[in-house]
Amino acid sequence: MASSKSPHRARTLTDFMRARFGGLTARLGRALWKMGIHPDALTFAGLVVVGVASVALAYGHTLLAALILIAGTPLDALDGAVARAMERQGKFGAMWDSTLDRYADGFIFMGLAYYFSERGEQLGLVLAMAAMLGSLLVSYTRARAEGLDVDCKVGLLTRMERIVIILAMLLSGWVMAGLWVLAVGTHITVAQRVWHVRGALRAREGANNA
């Protein structure tokens, strides 16, 4: 039976960005691989950049943190491009990338939580922690779904959308508004993914029992 998914239609902002800039990142990836740069090193360098930005956030330097994050954003795409250029066969790189992405998510919200905690702003602290929990669970539900052989890129706030919101709120200074969006939107995304997986598994089980 033909799949209902269209291979030509971007399903998420991440898919759109890859389709739009895939050629450029592929060329850069080949150039970096020829220079002997390993994709795992780029992934780790990206985490270091986020860590520096998180320290800036902890001390309330939101604009500086945003600029640091923007400067480090290409690393998040180039590690995969280099891996493709080297025709990497092993699966460790994907695990390494996903693990450090979760650390990166945590660093950002920990920096914000520290900032609000030091100033006794309890609402900001709670929102930062809720957004961090939601972000981690969005990624967890996808990983768990893939372990059940269910594609699960659905939902309101995938990682690229979350990055855009974080950058927008830091650049604009509307940090509390951005945290509200993230704290609510990530948990909506978790619910969407759980519902999607529930439907997919029920359909599979129904087909197997037919």
pLDDT of residue 106: 95
How far apart CA 180 and CA 176 sit, in angstroms, is 6
Our measurement of the distance from residue 63's CA atom to the centroid of its chain's CA atoms, rounded to an integer in Å, reads: 21
Is there a contact between 166 and 108 (Cβ–Cβ < 8 Å)? yes
pLDDT of residue 6: 37
pLDDT of residue 11: 61
CA triple 179-156-16, angle to 5 deg: 110
How far apart CA 153 and CA 12 sit, in angstroms, is 7
How far apart CA 191 and CA 99 sit, in angstroms, is 22
pLDDT of residue 118: 94
Q: Which of 144, 164, 146 is nearest to 76 (CA)?
A: 164
Locate 2 and state its tokens.
């033909």
**pTM for the predicted model, two decimal places:** 0.82
pLDDT of residue 90: 75
pLDDT of residue 36: 77
pLDDT of residue 17: 60
Residue carrying structure tokens 């660093």: 107
What residue spans define the domains of the chain? 13-209
pLDDT of residue 132: 97
Spell out, as residue ranges, where the chain has pLDDT lower than 70: 1-24, 29, 210
CATH code: domain 13-209 is 1.20.120.1760
Secondary element (H or E) of residue 153: none
Give the contacts of 163 (CB within 8 A, at least 6 positions apart). Answer: 69, 73
